[in-house]
Structure 1
Amino acid sequence: MLQVNRLKIIINTDNGEYGFDEEFSRGLNFIASPNNTCGKSSVIAGIYYCLGFEQIIGGEGEKVLTDAYKSYIKDGQNVYAVLQSKVYMEIYNGVDCITIYRAAKMDNRQSKLVTVYFSDMDNINNKDTELEDMYVLSKNAAVHEKGFHAFLEKFLGLSLPIVPTSDDKERKLYLQLLFSAMFIEQKRGWADLFSAMPYLGIKEAKKRIVEYLIGLETITNERNKNELAYEEKCIKDKWKNVLSAIYTESNRVCCKVQGLPLQAEILDEGFQNGVHLVKGTEDNNLVEIYIKQLKDEYKSLSAVTPKIVDNYDEIEEELEKTQECIEDMYRQQAEIRRQFSIENISIKKLQEELDNINTDIINNKDAKKLRDLGSDLDSEVLKDICPVCHQTIQDSLLPNQNKYTYMSIDDNIKHLNAQKEMYEFAINGHKQRKMELDEALQQSMSRVNTMTRLAKSLRNDISSVDENISEAIVFKKFEISKEIEDLENYVDFIEQQLQKLQELSDEWKEYLIRVEKLPKNKFTNNDYSKLNCLQRNFISNLESYSYSSIDSLDKVEISKDTYLPVVENFDMKFGSSASDGIRAIWAFAMALMQTSIEKLGNHVNMLIFDEPDQHSIVMKDLKAFIDSIILLKEKSQVILGITIKDQDTREVIENLNAEDYRMIEIENKAFVKI
């Protein structure tokens, strides 16, 4: 809960000190004056300002305050310059009192600085009183420890939800937005429901405010859905990254992996046994077999130490085979590049066709839209009729010998969309083929480098004039040893990646369990109860306040989409007179608080209405509005800034029980000489 206990405004001028110092009570409080220029709104602005809610008035900082705070004070016929001004406000949350201090004009103190005294106002100067400086309306003021609104949220016992933003991120629901449903200021607040709500980038802000104030569970459900959607994306992205790492490493060592789970799923225990590593040779040996063959070959090379003179013919023969192999691989690379070029040409042609299809789809949809709207321009064309001969337009230049039925615009759009899907599928296939060709080219180039180095070693052996150990055998042993090491590291790497997939599989299982636990319907039974309660209270208030812009209040509903009042699915304001628009604002603001009280929602049970008798409201309706506030008694605090300029208004207030309200009457000016 929030209750204002006392408001003290001090304004230093060149004629001394002026100010305002009044206490407020639980229940109904009037700030009343005989006309509109006495400073009621300036006093109420002080409440907004101390709470850091001046954005509801229309801006930030002291600039939104009236001239009395920052420029001049009028005292009779005299005008005095404001030298300094500051605002103190004591508030109560049902357990503790604090006093908030914020300067409006002060040379050595910026307006974004807020001091919180952990005591009532009378004791702020005691040496034992703790105080803390905080900042407001700055970055992170709603979340950081030294942010005033983060502190205020905690002090009021609120737990503001994280909600989607217009830039597809998430942020905390700001207090300023919440209080725009509770503080109705004079200049902009009476235009519509939440009309003074500042824009802070929260998506569907009005909806979020209502669902939080009355405590709908949808806000938790939607957040859970958003969290699960994010979790789903994260798991799938991680899964994709693991597969990408496997494919990259496999290509590096010229291997392939068979039996990989390509999509996130619940994997059976021991699924690794179904995954096989294959060496990308013509024989497609399993890697474990291929490693064994390499080790056997290495042993055979290590078993003998032949001299060059002993195997000269063999070396020449091997060199010849190596050269042939290199030439074959060069021819293979040329063929790969040729096929690569063909794929590029195919993709280019397909993309051109796809672009044309997309253009045709747009043109056909535009034509359909104009036709459906009843356009008279080119009306026969839009109806698939020739404007000259008035026959059905054919999509072919050939004679209609077989009397085929040609497609309408609607059928043409369906056909074009089917073609679009076919071309997109074909383009993706060619792109995949390009990737495969590129991988094959890289493997071939790597193999050529190895074979070239082997050929060089063989030539060195042939040209050697002494009886050294064969350089080719040494090179082979080195290459085999390196390949064995690479493949064994590769096997270890794949095992690690498969373990990651198993962990992601466990996460996926937990994700699916949480999805199953989500409510199948948007609203819970409690939600329906709260929305029905809001609708019932709203209609009851409308009836009490004599709302008459529709013939039956039974047509009024609270939209299940926006949580705002509608009549036959249209916004109520479109059919409301100016005075009934005011009655609707009274009714909805009150209904939100009434519903929260009844259903244990999150409303702070405080309302401010500055000049609620707008547009010449009938006095009996104003009295009904005041009576509905009084009915809540100690359950809330409501502050009404009201002008008592006629006898009818004065009689409405004088006929109230004096125990049911507190009157703060401003006879001439709110800020008086102290």
Structure 2
Amino acid sequence: MLRVDRLRVEIQTEEGLYGVDEKFNDGLNFLASGDNTCGKSSILEAVYYCLGFEEIIGGKGEKVLTSVYKTFIESGDKKLYVLEAKIYLQISNGSEVVTLYRVAKMDNRDTKLITVYYSELDNIRDATLVEDTYVHMPNSAVYTQGFHRFLEKFLHLELPIVPATDGNQRKLYLQLLFSCMFIEQKHGWADIFSGMPILGIKDSKKRVLEFVMKLDTLSNEKKKDSLKTKEIRIRSEWELLVKEIFNAVGRETCEILGVPLKPSVLTKIDLTGIHILKNKQNIDEYINGLRKEYKEIDNIKPKVVDNFEELQEELNSTEKTIEEYEDTTRWFREHILQEKAAIQVLDNNLEIIENDLRNNKDAARLRDLGSQLNCLTSKDICPVCHQPINDSLLPSLEGVEIMSIDENIRHLEAQKVMLNYAKESHKHSRDDMDQKIQNLQGKIFTLRRLAKTLRSDLYAVDDSLSESLVYKKIELQTRIDQLEDLKNFIENKKERFEELSDDWKGYLKEKKEIPSSKFSAKDFEKLKLLRDKFVINLMTYGYKSVIDMQEINISEESYLPVIEKFDMKFDSSASDNIRGIWAYTIALMQVSMVKGGNHPTVLIFDEPVQHSIVPKDMEKFFESILSLGNNCQTIIGITVKDSDTKKAIDKLKEGTYNLIEVKNKAFQKLDA
């Protein structure tokens, strides 16, 4: 929730301090004046501005504010030149209170800087925690020092990530959210949410309404997107797995049966149904045949040949080479582990540097905006003894100076470049050693086969055997090894099939749990309640442009009111269009309050009585706000020039509302 507790505007002129200092209550607040040019809108602008929501008014920064904040104010017949303009806004979230400070005009302090005092306005000089933040700059909605990031956390909101118009995903901005609660005078009464700024969010009104009412559609869409990604991944990995299997089988001139070509939930029977064939024979039978043929050669009566010593010497040399290669492989593996550890350390250091760099850049950004925090420590001076202090816990060394923020940034960026270079070097070394291991393993495999053959030749080779018979043994053993490797490969791939099958089963289960309709049962309840509350409000406020109220519906596409699928405003008179905006804005908060939505339960209406609204309907509007109780806050800027408006307010029960009267000019002489 958000509550506006107090607003203080200080405008320093050549003849002293002018401004306004007003407190607001829970429930209904009137900011009333006898004329439309007394400064009510300027006061409400200050609220928008201090919250960083001036885009709702029509722009960014101080340029959207009236001249009273920037050039001159009127005091009697005089025009006083504005030297400085400061705005303080005390807000609360129901349990915590902070005071926001933003300038509209001041040398050496940028208007993008907002200071947050964690205290009430009267106690900011004694605040133990003061924080400078920035607004309307890149990442001010996501970085720690961004003001709207602070405000989101302070209001206990968790804004969703939504599609942007450029195809990316972005956080739903607070300015968009509050544009459906803050209705300003110039643009806000043209249509429902006509003051919503364009900030590059796709279907921004729809996304805001989904969030305010806490509809499941947004989470359902996210789940659907996530499931779509999961489905694509599983299908892609399954297809790759099938391709690997057929390529491996093809290399050995074999066939394979029973491979599931598309994702499905597999059983043990499905997996045991995968068979490899060689020459139309089961691969196990074919391998047994090769072993039998090998054994027939192996069973020839052995004789000691004349070249026994040469064979023994060659065997010894081969085994020695194998041992050397294995030692080298172990050495590479150990060093690969070291390289991986080094890469991990560098990644951790890079993460720290990235964080430090971001913090220093934020500090530089705040400094450039004019941040001083109104305390001596910002000037590196101890507030107690007024001696110079350094931003370091290390003991000061004579002749050694601590680096400035800009030097820190340059130093950190140089460290980042150096660490990235070191990381790439370690990765290159790791990859190079990994490739060498692969090569060595291939050589070891070949040498082991040779050693096995040499051992066999030492004791099983007949001196009458031809050299071709020896090669046949090698060829048979090689073929057996290759087919065994193929069997093992397929068995491993079966395990992968099992894993992907489990993933697919989980995907199907999640898919089934998502409602076939984009709306959940709770969503339908909320939309029905929105429609019912809207229609009741319309009838209460005297809406006459539609004869049969049953024709009014809430669009399931836009969540806005329609009649026979057309925008309701096309059938509305000018005054009824205003009633429609009242009715919908109030209904939206009513739904959120009843159904536990995300509405901050605060509304601002600037001059809601437009286009000759009759007094009776105006009274009903005020009464409907009072019926909401003190669990929400409504601020209405209103002109009571005519007697009807004054009578409508006077008819309200005394003590049920807070009346702030703006007499003549809003900005009066203040005590310094």
Cα distance in 2 between the residues matched to 1:40 and 1:482: 93
1:559 to 555, 559, 584: 555
User: Is residue 155 from structure 1 mapped to residue 151 from structure 2 by the alignment?
Assistant: no
Structure 1 residue identity aligned to 2:134: Y
Shift of 1:182: 0.8
Distance 2:508 2:166 in 1: 28
User: 1:293 and 1:143, CA in 2 relative to 1: closer, same or farther beyond 3 A?
Assistant: farther
Q: What's 1:136 paired with?
A: 135
Superposed CA offset, 1:30-83 (max 9, x none) = 122233333222221221222222222222333332333334444445444444
> What displacement does 1:289 show?
6.6
Give the equivalent residue in structure 1 for 2:172. Answer: 173
The corresponding residue for 1:636 is 632
Q: In the alignment, which residue of structure 2 is the partner of 1:227?
A: 226
Which is further off, 257-266 or 153-162?
153-162
Match in the other structure for 2:402: none
1:423-448 superposed Cα distances (whole Å, 9 cap, x missing partner): xxxxxxxxxxxxxxxxxxxxxxxxxx
| 2:577 equivalent in structure 1 | 581
Contact 1:116 1:134 survives alignment (8 Å): yes
Task: Note closer, same or farther for the CA distance 1:276–1:195 as it changes in structure 2 (3 Å cut).
Answer: same
Deviation of the 1:300 alpha carbon: 9.5
Match of 2:620 in 1: 624
Work out the CA distance in 2 between the residues paired with 1:478 and 1:62: 87
Deviations along 1:92-131, one digit per CA (max 9) or x if unpaired, are 222121222233334444433333222211222215x212
> What's the secondary structure of 1:563's corresponding residue?
coil
Displacement, 1:176? 2.0
- 1:340-355 to 2 correspondences below 5 Å: none
For residues 469 and 64 of structure 2, what CA distance do their matches in structure 1 show?
Answer: 88
* 2:39 is equivalent to residue 36 of structure 1: no
The Cα shift of 1:655 comes to: 3.4
Q: Give unmatched runs, 5+ long, in structure 2.
A: 306-464
Q: Shift of residue 140 of structure 1?
A: 3.9
1:534 alignment partner in structure 2:
530
The C-alpha deviation readout for 1:414-469, integer Å capped at 9, x for no partner, is xxxxxxxxxxxxxxxxxxxxxxxxxxxxxxxxxxxxxxxxxxxxxxxxxxxxxxx9
Q: Which of 642, 646, 657 is the aligned partner of 1:646?
A: 642
Change (3 A) 1:271 1:664: same
Q: CA deviation at 1:14?
A: 4.6
Quote the residue 1:116 is aligned against. 116
Take 2:613 and 2:228, find their aligned partners in 1: how far apart are those partners? Answer: 50
Report the residue type matching 1:90 in the other structure: Q
- How far apart, CA to CA, are the structure 2 residues paired with 1:44 and 1:563? 28
| 3-state SS, counterpart of residue 509 of structure 2 | helix
Matches for 1:351-362 after TM superposition, within 5 Å: none
Q: Tell me: CA distance 1:596–1:247, structure 2 relative to 1, closer, same or farther (3 Å).
A: same
Tell me the secondary structure at the aligned position of residue 268 of structure 2: coil
Amino acid at match of 1:589: T
Q: Counterpart amino acid of 1:542?
A: L
Q: TM-score, normalised by structure 2?
A: 0.67
Worse-superposed segment, 46-55 or 14-23: 14-23
Aligned position for 2:207: 208
Bigger mean CA offset, 487-496 vs 554-563: 487-496
Mapped to 2, the partners of 1:554 and 1:120 lie a distance apart of 49
1:605-662 per-position Cα deviation (integer Å, ceiling 9, x unaligned): 1110111112232222222211211222312110111122223222322333341222
Q: Is 1:92–2:92 an aligned residue pair?
A: yes
* 2:193 is the alignment partner of 1:194: yes
Distance 1:247 1:223 in 2: 36
Helix, strand or coil: the match of 1:197? coil
Task: Tell me the residue number matched to 2:50.
Answer: 50
Give the match's secondary structure for 1:596. helix
Question: Are 1:608 and 2:604 an aligned pair?
Answer: yes
Deviation at 1:556, TM superposition (A): 1.9
Structure 2 match to 1:265: 264
| Alpha-carbon distance between aligned partners in 1 of 2:25 and 2:252, rounded to the nearest angstrom | 80
Aligned to 2:4: 4
Deviations 1:339-362 (A, max 9, x none): xxxxxxxxxxxxxxxxxxxxxxxx
Cα distance in 2 for residues equivalent to 1:157 and 1:277: 61
Superposition pairs of residues 452-531 of structure 1, within 5 angstroms: 491-531=487-527
User: What is the aligned partner in structure 1 of residue 656 from structure 2?
Assistant: 660
Q: SS of the residue aligned with 2:655?
A: helix
CA deviations on 1:284-341 (whole Å, 9 max, x unpaired) are 6666677777888999999999x9xxxxxxxxxxxxxxxxxxxxxxxxxxxxxxxxxx
Deviates more, 1:270-279 or 1:651-660: 270-279
Q: RMSD of aligned C-alpha atoms?
A: 3.5
Deviations 1:386-415 (A, max 9, x none): xxxxxxxxxxxxxxxxxxxxxxxxxxxxxx
Distance in 2 (CA, whole Å) between partners of 1:489 and 1:61 is 70
Please give the secondary structure, in 1, of the residue aligned with 2:272: helix
Residue 668 of structure 2, aligned match among 654, 660, 672: 672
Aligned length: 509
Give the conservation status (yes or no) of the 8 Å contact 2:258–2:270.
no
- Unaligned 5+ segments in structure 1 are 308-468
Q: Structure 1 residue 2: deviation in Å?
A: 1.4
Matched residue type, 2:539: E
Measured at CA, do residues 116 and 272 of structure 1 come closer, stay the same or move farther in structure 2, by a change above 3 Å? same
Shift of 1:24: 0.5
Secondary structure of the residue that 1:59 maps to in structure 2? Answer: coil
Match of 1:400 in 2: none
Name 1:62's counterpart in structure 2: 62
